[in-house]
């Protein structure tokens, strides 16, 4: 769901910069940082690391759902007149079971006090963009796991955010569904050029989706290494089985192993 009440800024993304950011929770757990990370407008970047390394915390800091202990999170709109808006796709679809697909997608606009009549065309278009046009009036109980996640994605997209944050949205899905949604997400990204920050545990998913993979250390999460993925934007099964993809996966996997290795005193 969108995490900002500001009006949408259009489909051109905005950049984000984390400067010396740390997060220490009230119980004393040092979860994150310090990290320095610059994400360009329109970039697709993945955060990859072991459980508990602060990937989700970094997303929540960008979204403004929690505050950093130190450091700054700064935004740079693509043009001076734009204002930042953020969409957030969580690990679970978190749909309202009593509401139809259409009404679930309408929710963030309803919270903005937009009338159904004013936004009906936008909702219809967004639902169609995730391949669910014929399911607009069914209820979540009638949908598969992959379809529920499509609804969650549509709900995040309906406000036309310029930054899309995704916290392991496909982790619980079977491999075939996951591959299909990976392809659909890339299609959406190519069309709209939003800034996407994607959290995953999967080396293979991170390399397939991203322009850049950021490998993080165990808690407190810091940036260990970064990898630019040299590949065409129009990726598909040919890329997934190519020598270049395999080489990238090997490099990222080795970096993840180095970052996760126990420190020798």
Residue range 15-94+163-260 in CATH 3.40.1160.10: no
pLDDT at residue 6 greater than cutoff 60: no
**% of the chain surpassing 70 pLDDT:** 91
pLDDT at residue 1 greater than cutoff 60: no
- Residue 243's H or E segment, with its range, is helix 243-260
DSSP state string for 79-147? STT----EEEE-SS----TTS-HHHHHHHHHHHTT--HHHHHHHHHHHHHHTT-GGGTTS-GGGS-HHH
The predicted-structure confidence for 204-225, as pLDDT tens digits, reads as follows 999 999 999 999 999 999 999 9
Q: 50 or 21: which carries more pLDDT confidence?
A: 21
The predicted-structure confidence for 50-98, as pLDDT tens digits, reads as follows 888 899 999 999 999 999 999 999 887 544 434 468 999 998 888 999 9
Phi (first) and psi of residue 39, to 5 degrees: -115, 120
The model's pTM: 0.88
What residue ranges do the domains of the chain occupy? 15-94+163-260
Distance of CA 41 to the CA centre of its chain: 14
Q: What is the rounded average pLDDT for all residues in the chain? A: 88
């Amino acid at each position: 769901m969108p995490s900002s009440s500001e009006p949408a800024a259009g489909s051109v993304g905005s950049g984000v910069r984390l400067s010396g950011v740390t997060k220490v929770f009230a119980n004393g757990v040092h979860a994150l940082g310090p990290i320095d990370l610059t994400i360009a407008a329109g970039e697709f970047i993945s955060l990859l690391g072991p459980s508990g390394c602060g990937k989700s915390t970094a997303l929540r800091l960008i979204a403004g759902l929690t505050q950093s202990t130190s450091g700054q999170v700064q935004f740079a709109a693509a043009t001076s007149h734009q204002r930042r808006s953020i969409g957030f796709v969580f690990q679970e679809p978190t749909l309202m079971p009593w509401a139809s697909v259409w009404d679930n997608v309408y929710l963030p606009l309803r919270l903005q006090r937009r009338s159904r009549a004013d936004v009906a065309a936008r909702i219809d278009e967004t639902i169609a963009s995730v391949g669910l046009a014929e399911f607009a009036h069914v209820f979540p109980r009638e949908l598969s796991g992959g379809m529920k996640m499509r609804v969650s994605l549509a709900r995040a997209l309906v406000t036309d955010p310029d930054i899309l944050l995704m916290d392991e949205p496909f982790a619980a899905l079977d491999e075939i569904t996951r591959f299909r949604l990976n392809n659909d997400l890339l299609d959406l990204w190519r069309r709209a050029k939003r800034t996407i920050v994607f959290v995953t545990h999967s080396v293979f998913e991170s390399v397939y989706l991203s322009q850049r993979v950021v490998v993080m250390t165990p808690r407190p999460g810091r940036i260990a290494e970064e990898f630019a993925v040299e590949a065409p934007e129009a990726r598909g099964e040919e890329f997934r089985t190519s020598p270049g993809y395999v080489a990238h996966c090997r490099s990222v996997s080795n970096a993840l192993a180095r970052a996760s290795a126990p420190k020798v005193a």
